[in-house]
Structure formats: structure tokens, C-alpha cells
Amino acid sequence: MSALYMVVGLVIALGVLVTFHEFGHFWVARRCGVRVLRFSVGFGTPLVRWHDRHGTEFVVAAIPLGGYVKMLDEREAEVPVDQLDYAFNRKSVFQRIAIVSAGPIANFLLAILFFWVLALLGSQQVRPVIGSVVAGSPAALGGLVAGQEVVAVDGEAVDGWAAVNLRLVRRLGETGELTVAVREPGSSVDVTHKVAIRSWLKSAENPDPIGGLGIQPWRPAMPPVIAELDPEGPAKAAGLQIGDRLVSLDGVAVDDWQQVVDKVRARPAQSVALAFQRDGQSHELKLTLSTKGEGKARTGYLGAGVSGGQWPAEMLREVRYGPVAAVGEALSQTWSMSLLTLDSLKKMVLGQLSVKNLSGPITIAKVAGASAQSGVGDFLHFLAYLSISLGVLNLLPIPVLDGGHLAFYLVEWVRGRPLSERVQAWGMQIGISLVVGVMLLALVNDLSRL
């Protein structure tokens, strides 16, 4: 079922985002008097095609990994004399800038729409109360302790752990101080702490900002009673059953599932001794944990899970906006994510973040499937983030991307004449090399994660 969700989620995600992006180009081109020859969603063999009254061919193609809008253009084919006024290259530089920028702008507008709907629907957030702090960690050295509730990070208010994580992500790879405002239990006074960071999680392949500070969020206790088993996991193979209650691991008593998780993750491919109770009887067994991940990301895997604990009502808060307030929230979310995407790209170029954080089509498919399986809200969040990424990446001043064409047209506007075809051709070759190189790197990252 997960594979089906991956395929369906990816096709829907790319179909919606690509269609909207290309529609932006199409809509503005039509209003600028450009004749659109073809509007294609996907590449390769056409599966469905039809024509409108303006003669534009609409195509849904077999490979759903992009799309394009083909316009009448003398640079691509000979144009009849009576059609020259409808050619893209004959339009003013400002019209061409408008047409090219319309695609990324459409992606930002789509993200705003998704965030607006999510703000209207509302969400239930877990209050960001600290459960524990690792001794000697940046959080501990900054004076953070268990029981405090995080109310702001770097001066920006937070209403849940998701917001805390987003604020912290912005500081990855940096050296300096994080400003964390917290509130003590039963108090209404905010206290500010300075948390020192140095090249923070610079080399991490899958950075965990909250855990990287040494903070473990508060959560309800989860007794180590097995509620699910991976049919292919070591727990099942060793004879553990649903309903078994783990008592100790390697002789160390455990009374909470997180203790088991922490110990297991630290022992990839190692043999461990488990003591457990079944139907009131004590038992012991030894098993060898399997491994997940590669290199520094290797962790132990038991192949067992428990049912989640019950969250007390006072630890949850409902976050919902009215129709007007939701517009402001959607604009704020879109702006923040756009800046975060740009900042992350800059940090990768400067070496402040590992390029292994780049993701390709395989990771996108996995996230699409997981978010689709989680529900409409999570899938809309994923679509919004992906739409912003598509908009930002397309605006980068790299030839072959929309941003590269915009750069050429801006130079033309300043100079009063376009760059020579030779210079533009060189730019295109460099741009293609850069894009192909990044795509290959992202694909290699995807394969390494498998």
C-alpha cells in the first residue's frame, strides 16, 4: 500500500504543481498576445491531446516529471509573415519578463492558497514543553531545563514543536547565539536564554535541530508493551509477541519505550539480551539487532513498536484562523519558507550545510506517499513546501531555468539590446551542466538513503 501511495502521491503532486506553473506562463503569454502552440503536462508519448479554439494543443504525456509551454518563436522555427506579431521573440522585453516570471509566481500563489486553506482548517499543536535536557549539551549550557515551555526562538513566537523546529532550521550551520524564550510551569513571565552554537550540525546529513540542541520534547509515558511487530524484523524472528512487556535490555531496567528506542538505536548489528513478561511469566532471550542507514547515520533496529500514549488536554492547543487572518498567516508562511529555501541553498554552496541534504525524485516520492497516507492536511503542507521550492529554484539565475532567462532579459533591458546568441549559447551549456550535475548529486543522495 505504501508503494501505491508513493506513486499516486508523486503523480498528483507533480501534476498539480507543474500544471499550475505552466499555466502561469500560458495565461500571461496569451494576455501579451503570444500564440501558444502547445501546453504539455509531462514529457514523452502523448496519452491525451486536444485543441482549443485558438489552435493551442493541450497534451498529457506519459512521463509526469515536468511540463512545458511551447510558444511561437522565430528562434525555434520559421514563422509566417502574417504571424510575426504573435511571436514571443517579437514582444517587448517587459512582456517577455512577465511571461517568464509568471510560472514561479504561480507556484508562490498556489502555496499561499494551500497555506490559507490549512490556516482555515486549523491544527492541533503540542505545546513545546521540554521533557529533558542532555547534560553538557548546548541547551543545558544555556540554562534550559525540563518543564520549561518554549515560547519564542530568536524573537519569533512559537505555538508548537513544528514552529520551534522551523525556527531552529534557519540557524543550521551557523556560529553564534540562539535566543530562546521560555516560561516556567505556572508562570506568565518569559525568561530569555542564550544558547551558544558553533558550526551547528554543519556536517549532519539528516539534521535534527531540536535533538541537536540536546532537548527531548515532553511526551506522555509509553509503557514498553509491544503492540506491533515488523514481520521481517529481528524481534519477530526471535519470538517476541504482541502483548509482551519488556523489562530490561542488557540487564538495564526499562519502564518507558523511549528508553528501549535510545538503547536499540545505539547498538546497530549488535547482540542484545532482552528480559520480558508474557502472561505474567518472566522470559529472557538474545537477538541480534538489524541496521538502518549508512555511515554515521547507522542505527540499530528492533522491528517492534508500541501504541502511543494519551496526550493530556492541557498539553494540546488548537490553532485556527479566520478567513482574513488566514491570508496573513499564509503570506507569512510562504515568505518564511521561501527565505529558508534560499538560505539553505546558500549554506550548501558555502559549505555550512552538507550537500547530502539535497533530495531527488526518490525522496520526493517517499515524502509524497507518506504525507498522502497521513491525511489531507499533511499532503497540502507537502504540496505547499514543494511548490515554494519549485518557485525558488526556477528563479535562480541559471540559464535553462526561468531565472536564467530573466537574467538575460534584464541585461537586455539595461543594455538596450540582447546578448549575442553565442554568449547565450555558452550560458545555456553552463546552465545545463549545473542542473544535470545537481540532479545527479540529488539522485546519488536518494540512492544512498535507500
How many other C-beta atoms lie within 10 A of the C-beta of residue 308?
Answer: 11
Nearby residues of 201 by Cβ (< 8 Å), 6 or more positions away: 172, 173, 207, 208, 209, 212
Best CA proximity match to 172, nearest among 348, 42, 306: 348
Bridge partners, 129 (sequence order): 149
User: How many angstroms separate the CA atoms of 97 and 102, rounded?
Assistant: 8
In a 10 Å sphere around its CB, with 0-12 CB exposed, 13-18 middle and 19+ buried, how is residue 220 labelled? exposed
Residue type, 319: V
Contact 386, 28 (CB under 8 A): no
CA distances to 29, 260, 267 from 270, in Å:
62, 14, 5
Q: Which three cell numbers stand for residue 147?
A: 518543564
Helix and strand counts by DSSP (H, E) for the chain: 12, 18
Contact 127, 149 (CB under 8 A): yes
Catalytic residue from among 22, 149, 174, 329: 22
Q: Which three cell numbers stand for residue 150?
A: 518554549
Residue ranges with strand state E in 220-333: 228-229, 245-249, 252-253, 271-278, 281-288, 290-292, 299-301, 304-305, 316-319
Best CA proximity match to 15, nearest among 57, 67, 70: 67
Catalytic site includes residue 284: no
Residue type, 314: E
Residue type, 331: L
User: How many angstroms separate the CA atoms of 214 and 180, rounded?
Assistant: 13
Estimate to the nearest angstrom the gap between the alpha carbon of 325 and the chain centroid: 25
Residue type, 366: K
Element (H, E) at 47: strand 36-51
Going by the DSSP 8-state scheme, the letter that residue 308 receives in this structure is P
Q: Which residues carry out catalysis?
A: 22
